[in-house]
């Protein structure tokens, strides 16, 4: 039963939504509805990937990862709390064991994963960060293979080798241009991907009992509280109100367009076109980050980066095309 996330989830941008439709296959969809759903999936993937760009822009104002994640969760918390309250009033109360699981998953999948991601972005390019996070489905597969004895076919192994080789290619390129901290940043983002992979593996049964919308709303509320506690331990409360205006503007954009909106856009998209097609639409994520980084952050685009990105996308495409 723990294999569901490994089979249904294809990228970080299509996690909760993919599990939402895990047992609701789309047999036939009118052309207009299909194209509309595909567009929503693409927009969701682009906005989700843009959080790396927003974080890099915020770092220009001398803020750190603690401030970035705190403001992100502070602004997104009311929206997720509203959904959580709505679900709490319209659905039966949760069992105590499920409440504990949600707390643990919220800390693992959203708080720890996001914090490590923003820490890593202080040292590496947005393009490399997106490539590493895009390997999450392969990490889910490896965890399932080593710990749950799931069989892995040769196509899946080939997909892993291709995508990992592409990441190493980009990593070597960034090592020559980004300095010694690239290894540290990559390790932190890798930890983020692994943390999120454990969340996906662990949430398979829970999402079927609780529901995807309810689970993500509750887990994000847990993450928001954890971020605020961390902030008040490490920083002075006055720091929250003494930042320059662009920091708050970018944080609001990060919360609405890179956090809340992609989750619900993807849920609607999956309902219209199915999880596999929505997952393949997520392939636009790393590519969009690469070009947004070039336009907004002046990050160079080289032939090696394009080749590495193409290899990672090819590997993830192979995984998404594998028959169940």
pLDDT tens-digit map of 73-82: 999 999 999 9
Per-residue pLDDT, 163: 82
* Whether the model pTM is above 0.85: no
Residue 65 has pLDDT above 50, yes or no: yes
Task: Evaluate the CA torsion angle 261, 15, 138, 276 in order and state its sign.
Answer: negative
Of 91-100, 137-146, 181-190, 280-289, the poorest mean pLDDT is in: 280-289
Q: pLDDT by residue (tens digit) across 300-320?
A: 888 888 888 888 888 877 766
Average pLDDT over residues 124-140: 85
Residue 21 has pLDDT above 50, yes or no: no
* Confidence band of 8 (pLDDT split at 50, 70, 90): very low
Mean pLDDT of 134-158: 81
d(CA 244, CA 248): 7
The mean pLDDT of 84-101, rounded to a whole number, is 93
- Domain chopping of the chain, boundaries: 4-19+31-321
pLDDT tens digits for 227-247? 999 999 999 999 999 999 999
- Long-range pairs of 206-212 with CB within 8 A, sequence gap ≥ 24: 206/98, 206/101, 206/102, 206/105, 207/16, 207/19, 207/20, 208/4, 208/22, 208/23, 209/98, 210/94, 210/98, 210/102, 211/87, 211/91, 212/16, 212/17, 212/19, 212/20, 212/267
In this predicted model, what pLDDT tens digit does every residue of 174-222 receive, in sequence order?
777 766 788 999 999 999 999 988 888 888 778 888 888 898 899 999 9
């Amino acid at each position: 039963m723990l294999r569901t996330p490994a089979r249904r989830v294809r990228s970080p941008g299509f996690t909760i939504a993919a599990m939402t439709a895990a047992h609701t296959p789309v047999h036939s969809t009118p052309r207009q509805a299909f194209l509309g759903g595909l567009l929503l999936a693409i927009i969701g993937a682009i906005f989700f990937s843009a959080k790396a760009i927003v974080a890099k822009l915020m770092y220009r104002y001398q803020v750190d990862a603690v401030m970035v994640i705190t403001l992100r969760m502070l602004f997104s918390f009311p929206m997720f709390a509203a959904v959580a309250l709505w679900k709490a009033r319209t659905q039966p109360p949760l069992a105590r064991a499920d409440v504990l699981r949600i707390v643990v998953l919220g800390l693992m999948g959203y708080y720890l994963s996001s914090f490590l991601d923003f820490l890593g972005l202080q040292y590496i390019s947005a393009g490399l960060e997106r490539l590493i996070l895009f390997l999450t489905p392969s990490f889910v597969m490896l965890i399932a293979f080593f710990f749950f004895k799931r069989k892995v076919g040769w196509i899946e192994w080939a997909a892993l080798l291709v995508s990992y080789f592409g990441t190493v290619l980009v990593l070597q390129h960034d090592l020559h241009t980004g300095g010694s901290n690239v290894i540290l940043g990559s390790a932190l983002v890798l930890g983020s991907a692994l943390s999120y992979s454990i969340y996906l593996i662990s949430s398979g049964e829970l999402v079927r009992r609780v529901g995807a919308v309810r689970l993500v709303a509750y887990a994000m509320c847990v993450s928001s509280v954890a971020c605020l506690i961390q902030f008040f331990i490490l920083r002075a409360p006055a720091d929250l109100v003494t930042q320059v205006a662009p920091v708050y503007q970018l944080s609001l954009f990060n919360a609405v367009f890179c956090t809340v909106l992609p989750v619900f856009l993807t849920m609607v998209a999956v309902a219209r076109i199915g999880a596999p097609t929505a997952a393949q639409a997520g392939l636009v994520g790393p590519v969009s980050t690469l070009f947004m980084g070039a336009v907004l952050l002046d990050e160079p685009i080289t032939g090696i980066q394009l080749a590495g990105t193409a290899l990672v996308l090819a590997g993830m495409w192979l995984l998404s095309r594998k028959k169940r």
